[in-house]
Structure formats: C-alpha cells, structure tokens
A and B are shown apart, each in its own frame.
Chain A
Amino acid sequence: MKIDPVTLEVIRNRLIAASRDIRRTVERAAYSPILYEVVDFSCGILDGEANLIAETPGLPIFLANLGYAVRSTYETIGRENLRPGDVILCNDPYNGGGTHCPDLVTLCPVFFDGEIRGWAAFRGHTVDMGGIYPGGWYSDTTEVFQEGFRMPPVKLLVEGKNNEDVFRLIRANTRVPDAVLGDIRAMVAAVRKGSQRFSDVIDRFGLKTTVGALNEILLQGERMARAAVRRIPNGTYSAEAILDGDGNDDAPLDEKLLLKLTITVKDDELTADFTGTGPQNRGPMNTPEPSTISATRYAFKIVTTPHLPCNEGFFRALRIVIPDGSFLKPRFPAACAMWPTPSTTIPDLFLKALAPAIPDRVRGGHFGDSMANFIYGVDPKSGKYYVCAEADAGGYGGKPLEDGEAALFSMTLGDTYNVPAEVVEVRYPWRVERYELVQDSGGAGKSRGGLGVRRDYRLGSDAGLTVTTDRVKYTPPWGVFGGQPGKTNLTVVERLDGSKEEWRKISNLPLKKGEVVSFRGGGGGGYGNAVERDPNRVARDVVDGYVSMAAARDEYDVVIDPATLQVDRAATTALRKALRKETSA
C-alpha cells in the first residue's frame, strides 16, 4: 500500500514521540541513579515482527537487542499465548536479555483486531539482580550461573494485572528490593504508555495505513544507509586491539584478548567481519551475540548516518560476520557480566579502520572503557545496605580540526550523566576529594587528545569495591595519522598506611574507612603529528595546565619560557632542527 508522504511523516513523528514518552517516564520516576543519571537504558517502538521502528537515544550500545527480546518472547512464550495488557520481563543473557543479568527488559505488546501489531520496549540497568557480589559486573565469574538471577521472557503483568509470583521472585533475589522494584514499576508504566501511544496511531490512521507506513519507514532508512555507504570508498579496511582480559589483577583468568575487525565496503553495502577474534574466555569478558550485533550497528551508524533517527531499515546495508565460539559470540553458559567491555572497543575500531578512507570524519581513539565501578556496604547513618554503581569519564581522540574532547563517558554510554559530587555526598558515606582533569593524559598530536578525569573518594566507612576497568595494559587510546596515544585508564587505592596499589580489575576488594579510591579515566589519542602543532597553542595548553612544560618539550618539541609562559622561539627552532637532524641521520 502506498502511503502519502504527509501521513507518513505524521505517523513517524508520533512513533518517535511514543518512544520519547517511554524514556521520560522512566527517567523521572526511577529509583536508581544508573537509570536516571547514567541513562543506562534504551527505549524503542518495534513492529510486530520485532523490527525497530523508532528509538529514543539512551544507551546506543543497546541498539539492536530490543528486537532480540521480542523474538525470544515469541519463541519462549509463543506469540499465540500473548494477550492485550500483558507486560513481559526478561534478563537472561541467552534468552531475551542478550547483555548481562542486571539489564532488565520490559515489553508491552500493541494489539489490534486480536493480533500483535507492535511493541513498546525498554531495557535498563538495575543496581542488583543477585550474583556473587553486588552490582552485576564481575571480573572473575566463570559461568553465567554465578552472575545473577536469570529470567527468560516471563509475564510480569497478565492482562493488566501484576503477576505477584514474579514480583516475589524478584524481591527474593536482589539485595536492594525497594530500589529494583521501584525501577520496575517505572519501567512497566513506561512501556504501557508507549504501547498506548502506538495503539492511538493505529486507531487514528487505521491498520492498513499504519502497517504501510511502518514498512515505508524501514525502506527509507535502508535507502539513507545505502546512500551513505556509497560515500565511503570501496575497499577492505582493518584494525585490531588487544583487551586486557579478565579476572582479578591478582589472579588473571585470560590475559590477552585479540579483537579483530575487517571492514569491506562494496558499493552500497558494508560488511563487518570479526574473523580472527579470540575464542570465548574462561571469565566474563564475553559479549553475547545480540550485543555484538548491537555494538556493530552503533558503529555503522556513526560512520554512515550519525544525525538521523534510527530504525531497523538502516541495517539492511550492513552485514555482520561473527565467528561462533569467539568472545563476541560465546556459547551458553559462558560468563558474560563484562559484555560491554569488548563492545566499547568495536565502534572505536571502526573509526580506526576507516581512517584512510574517510580521514575528515574520524578521530583518534578514546579511552575505551566505561570504567564501571561498584562500592557497596552498610551506611552507618541509616544502617541500610547500599550499592553505588557508577561509570567514569575520560578523553576522546583529537579531531581533524580541533582537539579531542575531555571528560566524556565512553562510547558505550551515550547521553549519560555523571553523579554530581554533591549528590554522592548526600547519598553515600564518603567524601569526594577531587574531581579534575589529568594533566598530560591526552595524546600529543596536531590536534591533541582530550584529557582524562580523576575522581577520588575517601571512604567514611568500610566497604567493598569491584572495578571492571579494561584497556589499561596492551592497547592504549591510539593516535591516528601520526598522533601519539593517550594515557591509559587506571584505578589507584591508597591504603591507610599511605601505600598505593594500582589496579585494572578488582573483584570485591575490602576497603577500610579512611582509605581513598581514585578512578582515573585515560585520555584520547592525538590526530596528526605533534610537531605540526602551532607552538602558540602548545603554550596556551601549558598556561592552562592541560600540558606540562616537560611534555611540551618532549612531545611537541616546543620550549616554553618558564617566566613568561610563552614560546621560546629560538630554543624551539633549535630543538626542532636538532631533532630533525637526529631523525634523518
């Protein structure tokens, strides 16, 4: 059925509005900072066949797995067994979830004439769904059974009524039932609202027109994506990175994980092939296939159509090849609590691989990890158990025409907000001692990499600490076109006796009252050769303390007069000349 362009535009806008409604409801009414500040969620409107029609940006890395949840629901419960008013919940990484146990998915079907015509969907992170220690991200689990309470798609609401059995099961399986159930209430309200808005569209425009519009929306998405792929020169491009691996630093399980990407652009189709990527590991650094697809779609979106709203049609121009049994397509029951870690590197590798093809649309590598960390214990004031789950920020790579951005969350995360120090101090029993940029953490380059961030907490009572930081050891945030790498991520624990421990991954480390934990997100890589940078810009960076005087000399070959903080022209020229001679000799 041919849909007139005006009706199509009206329906498209209404469905986008419906998915925004889902987001707004959860954001404002949720209990966990990870939902309302970190925005560790995504929401979407799907058609009856599980194609994403409209989404509202939350966490971009969740782009594809809403459809997976719907397909799993059909397989597990059966399409014919669903009724109007049902709300589905699932979190099993291998059945409906596709990520890790703390991520809950709620789905509400849209019925018309007794048939499912669409879905409103929400996926979001809750603070705790059980598992060996609080938080849900572990670095030392070895099978998914250790990682939390798993639910395949189940009916949380049956024809509009709470299925109290399921609520009781959840309450019994989380350390913080009030927060988790509060979040679930918000999630349920949200998808019901979204589903209602979708129903309104069908009521208003009729089924035939609505279905026709949905198909046209997908077709248009496909056309957009294909046109954008054509703008990338044909060819084969590749890049790789080595992830640190998993386990406690004290007891590593697998040390090095090779992530390999080969991109082939042929006319209007792009193939992302992960052949050569290492096998699934013993620990939790495994990304279930739906999430690998999701991360790859996100990357595809970045290099093709970054400013357009998204739907399933765009990805008809993308082929994805993932080797079976690799850590990007692990087999049940592989542990997968740290699925986001490998997937954070995927979009950055896309930019690295395609740098020769589209040099004006890429940047240096970013710090490459969400820096997820968890502090938990009993609050001495209230006597209650708390779990604080946070991400930390770092630097992004230098850009073709300007320096990299400082202090942003990783690419895995999106329009995600930090928890302000003043909020932290109200909520948790510790003090924020410093929240600042780290000098010299950005890779040198014609465009300098952005600076990383340091956040120090001094604990006011004993607590446990789990940190999942990666990309510390083998692959720093890379530079491009001659730019230097940025400083890598790190966590430092300062003990009561003043000794300092440097960590990558930590599982359940006991901390004492008065000890300091310092999260340090790395910087971004540089873009272009540092000696091509205007010495005056280097001097300005020194005045502002982004770059030290020593680094100005060592990395940029620029001598700064310590008295005036201006470029010492003569000394700089001499230094650059001497270095050139050295290189040519």
Chain B
Amino acid sequence: MYRVSTDVGGTFTDGVLLDEKTGKIAISKVSSTPHNPAIGTIECIEKFDKPLCDASFLSHGTTVVINALIEGKGAKTALVTTEGFRDVLEIGRCNRTEMYDALYRKPRPLVPRHLRLEVQERIDADGKVVRPLATADLERVLGVLEREKVESVAVCLLNAYANPEHEAGIGAFLQQRLPGVAVSLSHLITRRYYEFERTSTTVQNAYVMPVVRTYLNDLEDELRGRGFGQILQIMQSNGGVMAASVAREMPIAMVESGPAGGAIGAAQLAKLVGFENVISYDMGGTTAKTSIITHGLPETAEQYVVEGRPILLPVVDLREIGAGGGSIAWIDEAGAMHVGPQSAGAQPGPACYMRGGKEPTVTDANLQLGILDPGYFLGGEMQISKSLAEQAIRSMADHFDLSVDEAALGIVKIVNTNMSGLLQSMTVKRGYDPREFVMVAFGGAGPIHAAAIAKELLIPTVIVPPYSGVFSAWGMLMADLRHDLEQTYIAPLVGASPAELNGVFRSLEERIRGVFEKEEIEDSRITVSYVVDLRYTGQEHTLAVAAAAPVTESSKALLAASFDETHLRVYGHNAPEEPKEVVSLKVIGIGNVNKPLLEKIPAGKPTPPAAARMGERKVYVGNGRYQSFAVLRRERLLSDNVVAGPALIEEATATTAVETGQSCRVDEYGNLIVSLSGEA
C-alpha cells in the first residue's frame, strides 16, 4: 500500500508517493494542463506506475478555485438577499486602498446588479424574526433565475449568522424547484457577522461551485476508472484536507490549497525533527511566502482576500512579498535602489538565462557572487551565462560607482532585508521571539537566502528538507482532515451563561462530527478543540483564546486571564481590570490520519565522504574580500555528516549556503540542519 499526493501549480503538477512499508519516497513532475487540470494530475500519478487500487490515501491540491476567481471564469451566479441590501456586495466597505490615486478602481462584484434579488424578510441581531419570509417573493426570484439561466445561487440574508431559518427556507425552496442549480447558503459557510464579507464569501463559493463540481467529477471518474477505491482528499486553505464530497459544497475552502500544503509540510517536518515552533519560508522565482507554526499548528488568519474580495474563512496565515530569484533590481527616478516586486518571471527570466533578459535579478546577483555555479544549474541541465549576469549588474554598479560584485551583494542584501522585514512582522510584532523558532526553507531560492535571513532575526536553526522542489505536495501527503466552524455570539464574558456557551460549542461540534462521519473518519481519530474570540468591551477587534470544554463559571476566569496575557503579548499593553466580551465561538475538528514512517538515509561519520566534496569556490563577501567556500553535493551526503561553513551544498534544484561560523548537520532523513551558532 502507498500514499500519494498531487499539487497542481501554475506551471507544474507535482506528485509525491510514499511507500507505506518501506517509507521510500518517489516524486514526479509533469507540466500542468490548465484547460483541464485533472489530465495533468492523472499523468502525474501514472508516472509512478503503481496500481491505484493499492493507494490507501490520495490527497490533492489544486489551483482550480483561485484560477476561476482570478480569471473571472466562474459560473453565472445570482444573489438572493434581504430587501434593501442588494447593493451590499457592490458598496463593499467604501475604502480606497490606493488613496492618492484619482482614478482608483474598486474590486468589481461577481454578481451583476440585475441578478442581485431581494426578498422581504428580516431577522434582528438577536436572531428574532421581525418580518417573516415572504413566500410570494420566492416565486418572483425563481422566475428571474429561470429566465436568466442562472447556474449557481448564493443566499445571504442580513443577520443570518444569528438565525439561519430564512436562509434554510430559501435553500429548501430552491433545491426543490431548481434541482439542477447549485445553491450556497451563507450560514453553512460561516456564521460570523459582517454582512459584506459573508456575502462576498458566499458569492465566491457559488461562483466556483459548478466549476469545481465538474472538475472533481472528472477527476474522481478518472481515478475510479483506474481502480482507486478510497476517498479523494482535497487540500484546504486552513491546512487540513477534506473529502471531495465536502469540497463540492464548500469549494471556496480550497482557495489557497497549494501554499497551505507547504505550511503543513513545514509543520510536519519540524515535528519529525523535534521542533514545534516553525517559520516556513518558501522562496521561488517571483515571490517569497512565509507562515508561522506554533505548537505544531500553522497560524491561521480569519479572513483572506482574493482580487480585492474578502473570504471569511480560516486560512493558513501566509504572507507573500515580491521577492524571488527572478526579482528585478532597479533604480527609481530619484536614484534610489530597489529590488522587486517586478519579476523577470520564467520569460525572459534572469539575464543569465540567455533568453533576452537585460535587467539584473537576484539570481544574477547570486551567480555573480559565486553562490551559484554556472556549470551546475538544475544539476547542469540548464546553461546559464555569468557574463550576461555581470553585464546586467554592471549598469547598476556604474550608476552608483560600485564594483559589480559590490552591486550584486547589494541586490542580495536588499532582498534579504525585504524578507526579514516580512518575517519580523509575523514574529516579533506578534510577540513571538524568533529565537524560539526554527526556519524550514524550501523553494528554488529559499535555501540560498535562509541562513542570512535567519541570522538577521536571530533564528538559531534552519532546516532544508529533501525534495524541497515538491515540498507542498510532500506536505499534502502528511495533512490531517480539518474542519473549522464558528458562531458569532456576543455577550459580556462575566454574564455569559456557561450552559449557553456550551450549547453553541456542542452544536458546532455536532456539525463537525457529522462531516467527519460523511468522510468515514472513526471517532477515535477525531480531536476537537474550542476557541473563544474575546475583546475588551468596547473594542472591535478580537483575540482568540483556547478554551476547555465544557466552560464553567470558574474556567471563565482562566479565559479572561489568558486573554489579558495574549493582549499584552500581541499589542504590548493590556487592561486586566476592564470587562471582557465574548464575540465568537469556534470549534476546530481534526481527523488524524496515520503518519507514515519515512525512509532513513545511510549513516556516516561527521566528516562527509570524499565523493560529496566537489572542491571550492570563491564567493564575494563584501569590502573587496573574497572567501573560499567548500562545495558539496547534497545527494552524496550521509546521515550525521557535518559541514562547517563557509560552504555551499548543491542539489539539482537548490543550493544551501552555509556562512562562516555556521555549521550544517545532515540528519537521518536527509534534512540539512544549519546551526547558526556553529554548534553541530
């Protein structure tokens, strides 16, 4: 038996297969097939040449949702909402993100105004029906939906988070009268207040639902045709997987499925090596993405924005900046030097790619400095030109009257600063001490820059996993099932009745257990945790605090204390004497899947074998100085080998830089573990 995962990206579809008996890993990479990503997925799996009836677990990450949203290729969608509120979707929050731009453009609603249909009904903030649902309106709505040949309907009523009965009624009516049309009800996606964000989420769910259904049907048919008999697991933005049958109803939960795989991979890998607090750092050609893992779980954000449109669902809190190998260094009108966010991309790519790129990029700078070997790019499969890199950097060097090497070092320093600024915003500014974290670095450019950035932030350890080029797919292989549910429930903490709080928790938990049942997860594998969002009465924003269920009068005091402590950590001040308010209750259900054993690599001595040593290379280190770096071939290293910096450890898809004073140990799974203090 084996486990397999596939991750569909923009350019490539990656696959990882793990033999459950031996722990052996196989990888495959094929070109993505954007017109029907299922084809690439199947090709990727077929490359393993293993019968699908032997697959015990198959997880899948896909860009199908994000692409439909970005390219505007979703279904013809209508919105049913409360009378007086059809423009909520277009009014949005009335803000201008580019406030100096006279020609500012708002994000456009996915549903045109004539398909935003109002019904008479009203529920108040306490959930009381103040105006019953007018059934006559439903017939009128039905007429429009039929006449306009609408494919998908979103229903989001005002205050439905407090009482969903009208939404449920409309849902039942539509299901009965328009059985072929997809229906998304806001309360089934989230029961959080903020009507624009909830409407936007529901509309986006509806917009992609028909696309996703077709896609998953195709994919499942293909898999079943090849003998696959298990449940297809789909990667979600929250870092867990869900059954395909659940994904059909909640496709919007798949929006960040690929990147979430990377974060989960980092979390699982670090756990394996013995770390709970992790910074995952994925640097590719155009961007660098990072997320924070504490206590083995990726931090999630409660909201996400795609093309300016909010999605009110938990998502692995992944921050991204335009800093990658292809990021272009440039000089602005006033003579200041910048790197990124513009990227040379794959075409023309960095100047050294010899595809006509003229502008200097980060990759060119690394080549110029001597970090990259022109003879071993992609393992020697791709020719690159150092003289073109030099030429591209020279114009910048001349402008500032610097040597070419110094300008190259400047490019790298700037991109590192941009990255460390981002990491700082995710750690120090949230009250985390980077010294208590390890960094897991992957992606084509990650391992080159990781140690320098870690040094800046005082992160003591960097881990570079094997298979770092297919690391997101590797992570999906390790993902548990996960479901998040939330209910806005506003009450003073002191006065809140434990019975009521527990009632809300119970009903959320029951729903989650119902989903797990559908996914055929046994009770013994389910872990449920409870979270309360609190604030000081009068504040708007909240902080999440873990709760033990059932809540009792005395445990409420613990919640309060834990909130005060979190407030101090995150914002640097608190007010324990101030009354607190409950805003939202959340339940997180994890369905644990068996974690496979991984294959170990052969053991060696601290001194790397001679076969791994590839000589030395001069690297420019600043102030006119060059230093000799030992060069090693990664796949020839053995467990327990120790490499002292300065050294460059090369593999086909990445180079790990170990600076002077740092040292790198190879662990039993083949991970490179760089110690910044040099202690092996």
Q: Is the CB of A186 within 8 A of B578?
A: no
Count of interface residues, chain B, beta-carbon cutoff 8 Å: 69
Which residues of the partner chain A approach B95 to less than 8 Å between Cβ atoms? 39, 408-409, 414-418
In the assembled complex, the CB of A219 is this many whole angstroms from the nearest CB of chain B, namely: 8
Q: Which of B99, B425, B541 has the most CB atoms of chain A within a 10 A radius of its CB?
A: B99
Q: How far is the CA of A543 from the CA of B148 in the complex (A)?
A: 12
Count of interface residues, chain A, beta-carbon cutoff 8 Å: 86
B120-131: CB near A (< 8 Å → 1, else 0) gives 000011000010
Q: Which of A28, A416, A434, A437 has the most CB atoms of chain B within a 10 A radius of its CB?
A: A28
B455 interfacial contact with A, CB 8 Å: no
Q: Is the CB of B332 within 8 A of A224?
A: yes
- Chain B residue at minimum C-beta to C-beta distance from A20: B425
Q: Is the CB of B336 within 8 A of A9?
A: yes
Which of A280-288, A398-406, A507-515 lies at the binding interface?
Answer: A398-406
Q: Is the CB of A28 within 8 A of B541?
A: yes
Q: How far is the CA of A4 from the CA of B159 in the complex (A)?
A: 57
Choose one: B105, B490, B541; the contact of A27 (CB below 8 Å).
B541
Q: Is the CB of B161 within 8 A of A193?
A: no
Q: Is the CB of B100 within 8 A of A437?
A: no
Q: Is the CB of B159 within 8 A of A193?
A: no
Choose one: B87, B193, B414; the contact of A420 (CB below 8 Å).
B193
- B295-352 interface with A by 8 A CB criterion: 332-338
Q: Is the CB of A420 within 8 A of B125?
A: no
Q: Do A406 and B91 form a contact, CB below 8 Å, given A6-B337, A60-B100, A422-B194?
A: yes
Q: Is the CB of A361 within 8 A of B572?
A: no
Choose one: B112, B417, B539; the contact of A9 (CB below 8 Å).
B417
Q: How far is the CA of A400 from the CA of B102 in the complex (A)?
A: 11
Q: Is the CB of A25 within 8 A of B103?
A: no
A74 interfacial contact with B, CB 8 Å: no
B636-664: CB near A (< 8 Å → 1, else 0) gives 00000000000000000000000000000
A544 interfacial contact with B, CB 8 Å: yes
Q: Is the CB of A307 within 8 A of B195?
A: no
Q: How far is the CA of A305 from the CA of B332 in the complex (A)?
A: 13
Q: How far is the CA of A274 from the CA of B402 in the complex (A)?
A: 47
B526 interfacial contact with A, CB 8 Å: no
Q: Is the CB of A10 within 8 A of B84?
A: no
Q: Is the CB of A408 within 8 A of B104?
A: yes
Q: How far is the CA of A422 from the CA of B418 in the complex (A)?
A: 38
Q: Is the CB of B578 within 8 A of A420?
A: no
B523 interfacial contact with A, CB 8 Å: no
- Chain A residue at minimum C-beta to C-beta distance from B94: A393
Q: Do A399 and B410 form a contact, CB below 8 Å, given A5-B337, A13-B418?
A: no
B562-583: CB near A (< 8 Å → 1, else 0) gives 0000010011110100100000
In the assembled complex, the CB of A401 is this many whole angstroms from the nearest CB of chain B, namely: 8
- B74-108 interface with A by 8 A CB criterion: 83-88, 90-106
Q: Is the CB of A36 within 8 A of B92?
A: no
Q: Is the CB of B414 within 8 A of A9?
A: yes
Q: How far is the CA of A431 from the CA of B131 in the complex (A)?
A: 13
B518 interfacial contact with A, CB 8 Å: no
Q: How far is the CA of A24 from the CA of B92 in the complex (A)?
A: 22
- Chain B residue at minimum C-beta to C-beta distance from A30: B539
- B239-273 interface with A by 8 A CB criterion: none
Which of A130-138, A142-150, A177-185, A529-537 lies at the binding interface?
Answer: A177-185
Q: Is the CB of B112 within 8 A of A544?
A: yes
The 19 sampled A-B contact pairs (Cβ below 8 Å) are: A6-B337, A10-B414, A25-B572, A27-B541, A31-B540, A182-B538, A182-B539, A222-B334, A302-B102, A414-B95, A414-B99, A416-B95, A418-B91, A422-B125, A423-B193, A431-B130, A436-B91, A437-B87, A456-B84
Q: Is the CB of B541 within 8 A of A36?
A: yes
Which residues of the partner chain A approach B334 to less than 8 Å between Cβ atoms? 219-224, 227
In the assembled complex, the CB of A216 is this many whole angstroms from the nearest CB of chain B, namely: 8
Q: Is the CB of B114 within 8 A of A544?
A: yes
Which residues of the partner chain A approach B112 to less than 8 Å between Cβ atoms? 544
B633 interfacial contact with A, CB 8 Å: no
Q: Is the CB of A179 within 8 A of B538?
A: yes
A154 interfacial contact with B, CB 8 Å: no
B400 interfacial contact with A, CB 8 Å: yes
B401-417: CB near A (< 8 Å → 1, else 0) gives 01000000110011001
In the assembled complex, the CB of B334 is this many whole angstroms from the nearest CB of chain A, namely: 4
Q: How far is the CA of A418 from the CA of B106 in the complex (A)?
A: 15
Q: Is the CB of B103 within 8 A of A399?
A: yes
Q: Do A435 and B102 form a contact, CB below 8 Å, given A421-B195, A425-B159?
A: no
B609 interfacial contact with A, CB 8 Å: no
B72 interfacial contact with A, CB 8 Å: no
Q: Is the CB of B84 within 8 A of A28?
A: no
B514 interfacial contact with A, CB 8 Å: no
B196 interfacial contact with A, CB 8 Å: yes
Q: How far is the CA of A37 from the CA of B410 in the complex (A)?
A: 40
Choose one: A5, A28, A303, A434; the contact of B571 (CB below 8 Å).
A28
Which residues of the partner chain B approach A8 to less than 8 Å between Cβ atoms? 336-337
B113 interfacial contact with A, CB 8 Å: yes
In the assembled complex, the CB of A302 is this many whole angstroms from the nearest CB of chain B, namely: 5
Q: How far is the CA of A400 from the CA of B96 in the complex (A)?
A: 19
Which residues of the partner chain B approach A30 to less than 8 Å between Cβ atoms? 539-540
Q: Is the CB of A408 within 8 A of B410?
A: no
Which residues of the partner chain A approach B578 to less than 8 Å between Cβ atoms? 178, 182
Choose one: A28, A33, A37, A301; the contact of B100 (CB below 8 Å).
A301
Q: Is the CB of B195 within 8 A of A436?
A: no
Which residues of the partner chain B approach A362 to less than 8 Å between Cβ atoms? 102
A12 interfacial contact with B, CB 8 Å: yes
Which residues of the partner chain A approach B467 to less than 8 Å between Cβ atoms? none
B618 interfacial contact with A, CB 8 Å: no
Which residues of the partner chain B approach A24 to less than 8 Å between Cβ atoms? 429
Choose one: B90, B332, B418, B425; the contact of A406 (CB below 8 Å).
B90
A419-448: CB near B (< 8 Å → 1, else 0) gives 011110110000111111100000000000
B57 interfacial contact with A, CB 8 Å: no
Q: How far is the CA of A36 from the CA of B536 in the complex (A)?
A: 14
A351-393: CB near B (< 8 Å → 1, else 0) gives 1000000000111000000000000000000000000000001
A29 interfacial contact with B, CB 8 Å: yes
Q: Is the CB of A4 within 8 A of B410?
A: yes
Q: Is the CB of B536 within 8 A of A437?
A: no
Instruction: Pick the 10 closest A-B CB pairs, nearest first.
Output: A434-B84, A220-B334, A414-B99, A6-B410, A306-B100, A544-B113, A5-B337, A393-B94, A425-B125, A223-B334
Q: Do A25 and B571 form a contact, CB below 8 Å, given A31-B539, A435-B91?
A: yes
Q: Is the CB of B540 within 8 A of A407?
A: no
B158 interfacial contact with A, CB 8 Å: yes
Q: How far is the CA of A30 from the CA of B158 in the complex (A)?
A: 26
Choose one: A21, A306, A544; the contact of B102 (CB below 8 Å).
A306
Q: Is the CB of A408 within 8 A of B158?
A: no
A157 interfacial contact with B, CB 8 Å: no
Q: Is the CB of B400 within 8 A of A437?
A: no
In the assembled complex, the CB of A459 is this many whole angstroms from the nearest CB of chain B, namely: 14
Which residues of the partner chain B approach A436 to less than 8 Å between Cβ atoms? 84-87, 91
In the assembled complex, the CB of A183 is this many whole angstroms from the nearest CB of chain B, namely: 9
- Chain A residue at minimum C-beta to C-beta distance from B104: A405
Q: Is the CB of B102 within 8 A of A363?
A: yes
In the assembled complex, the CB of B213 is this many whole angstroms from the nearest CB of chain A, namely: 28
Q: Is the CB of A417 within 8 A of B94?
A: yes
Q: Do A4 and B87 form a contact, CB below 8 Å, given A13-B417, A408-B106, A544-B113?
A: no
B356 interfacial contact with A, CB 8 Å: no
B427 interfacial contact with A, CB 8 Å: no
Q: Is the CB of A437 within 8 A of B414?
A: no
Other contacts beyond A10-B414, A434-B85: 15, CB < 8 A: A6-B410, A8-B337, A10-B417, A14-B421, A17-B425, A29-B567, A182-B538, A182-B539, A182-B578, A221-B334, A222-B334, A227-B333, A416-B95, A417-B94, A453-B91
Choose one: B113, B130, B194; the contact of A546 (CB below 8 Å).
B113
- Chain A residue at minimum C-beta to C-beta distance from B83: A434
Q: How far is the CA of A421 from the CA of B570 in the complex (A)?
A: 29
- B369-424 interface with A by 8 A CB criterion: 400, 402, 409-410, 413-414, 417-418, 421, 424
A211 interfacial contact with B, CB 8 Å: no
